[in-house]
Amino acid sequence: MAAEYTYVATCLFGLERFVGEEIDALGYTRISTIDGRITFRGDIGAIARCNLWLSCAEHVYLVIGDFDVYSFTELYDNTKKLSWEEWIGCDDAFPVKGHAIRSKLYSVPDCQSIIKKAVVDRLSGVYGISVFPEDCVKYQIEFFLFNDHITLMIDTSGAALHKRGYRPAAGAAPLRETLAAAMVRIARPREDVLFWDPFCGSGTIPLEAALYMTKTAPGLYRRFASEDFYDLPEAVWKQAREEAHDLQKLDTAFEAWASDIDRDMVQIAQDNVVRAGMQKIVRTFHHDALRIQTGGRRGTVVCNPPYGERLMTEESVKLLYRNMGRHFATLDRWQIYILSSSPTFETDYGKRADKVRKLYNGMIPCGYFQYFKNPNNPHGKSTDKKDRYDKHFATAKNNHHGKDVSKK
């Protein structure tokens, strides 16, 4: 029977459900979920497959050990007991970083120093040396200390997973790819329905839709830190990439349009489309979002227009939302999905959303306003009172760390 390992996938607040569902789809077993973190079990191949396929996660960590800790002596002793030599060689680099929340050991620098010393002492005993050059493979040690329980991990991703590799250039306020991927899934794209982002910026939302609809692994065209790990068999990454290429389906009838009023951004978006290899799926062009037309087609608008923290004044944002509401109302039965951080969005837009989902753009709390134009609900009144945006803003400043969301 293949050995099993414990992993942690981290994500932006609000994206836990999507990451969990992707872990399930890959055939791995979820253990627990708290805000921003999903712990799961899997074989050694999970390192490669999860880094390639988790579209809404930020990092995938390999858990080395975890334990309760109330003193620095306990931290040192228990860290030293772990088998770090199974991964870290005598020439490898192993820096330490992490977080401490609601715990007696709240000093992150002190925890870093003690963990580092414990690992050094452990490896010194194994390799018979006292000085480590740390000039070969980098094994980033990460700790997460919450409620006096610490998890010690090695980062298998390296650069955050939202860095797909297709977007070296972006606008002044870029949308993270992992959030865009979640927005796409909520909008339920289909092959027979045009997908349009009329505020496309660097093209992130249409590109994530294209990756999703072509079954393209989001990490297919980038490298990961664990590809250099000595003790990870080369076959693990080889097989995972071959699987990803075999599953890719570029012959889809799905069509995504990416337009923007800024011609420079349209060019950036087009360059990103080419880098992602999605030229046959995503069409980029210059256009005013307030002049888009259905052309008699069925369609879905998914967009992230400028808002208060992004590029525009409060009054100009309100005017934009008002004009959007008036014009988008002419798009027959098209579905509309809009990300905004404004607590008065629905008032400014002129219509109450059918549903609002709480999401975060970085650290900015946002609402994802969904307009289905359901004929059985013509006035657009909410059908989900528990998911209203005003309730979200009333609690947005609360500390979300560690809240169990596994039952959501």
DSSP string over 337-385: EEEE--TTHHHHHTS--SEEEEEEETTEEEEEEEE---TTSTT---S-G
DSSP string over 379-405: T---S-GGG-HHHHHHHTTS--TT-B-
139: CATH: 3.30.2130.30
DSSP string over 180-205: HHHHHHHH---TTSEEEETT-TTTHH
24 and 97 belong to one structural domain:
yes
Q: Whole-model pTM?
A: 0.89
146 and 192 belong to one structural domain:
no
Mean pLDDT of the chain: 90
Residue 242 lies in a domain: no
* Spatial CA neighbour of 118 closest among 91, 83, 164, 159: 83
As given in the structure block, the two tokens for residue 72 are 């620095």
Average pLDDT, integer, range 237-266: 97
Q: Which range, of 44-53, 236-245, 279-288, 304-313, averages the lowest pLDDT?
A: 304-313
Inter-residue contact 59 to 10 (CB < 8 Å): yes
Strands of 160-305 (E only): list them. Answer: 194-197, 256-260, 282-286, 299-303
Residue 408 lies in a domain: no
Inter-residue contact 256 to 284 (CB < 8 Å): no
Average pLDDT, integer, range 313-320: 90
SS (H, E, C) 150-173: EEEEEECCCCCCCCCCCCCCCCCC
Average pLDDT, integer, range 329-336: 93
108 and 211 belong to one structural domain:
no
Decide if pLDDT at 252 tops 90.
Answer: yes
Residue 54 lies in a domain: yes
350: CATH: 3.40.50.150
Number of domains in the chain: 2
> What phi and psi values does residue 157 have, to the nearest 5 degrees?
-90, -45
What is the pLDDT, as a whole number, of residue 398? 41
Which helix (H) or strand (E) element contains residue 22?
Answer: helix 16-25
CA distance linking residue 10 with residue 299, whole number of Å: 33
201 and 303 belong to one structural domain:
yes
Decide if pLDDT at 406 tops 50.
Answer: no
331 and 211 belong to one structural domain:
yes
268 and 136 belong to one structural domain:
no
pLDDT in tens, 358-382: 999 888 899 999 998 654 444 444 4
Residue 94 lies in a domain: yes
Average pLDDT, integer, range 295-307: 93
Average pLDDT, integer, range 222-238: 95
CA distance linking residue 57 with residue 39, whole number of Å: 12
Between residues 307 and 47, which one has the greater pLDDT?
47
Residue 231 lies in a domain: no
194 and 343 belong to one structural domain:
yes
146 and 193 belong to one structural domain:
no
Band of pLDDT at residue 156, cut at 50, 70 and 90: very high
Residue 66 lies in a domain: yes
46 and 9 belong to one structural domain:
yes
Average pLDDT, integer, range 152-173: 86
196 and 146 belong to one structural domain:
no
Inter-residue contact 171 to 201 (CB < 8 Å): yes
DSSP state of 176: P
260 and 195 belong to one structural domain:
yes
9 and 143 belong to one structural domain:
yes
What is the pLDDT, as a whole number, of residue 144? 98
Which domain range does residue 332 map to? Answer: 177-216+247-395
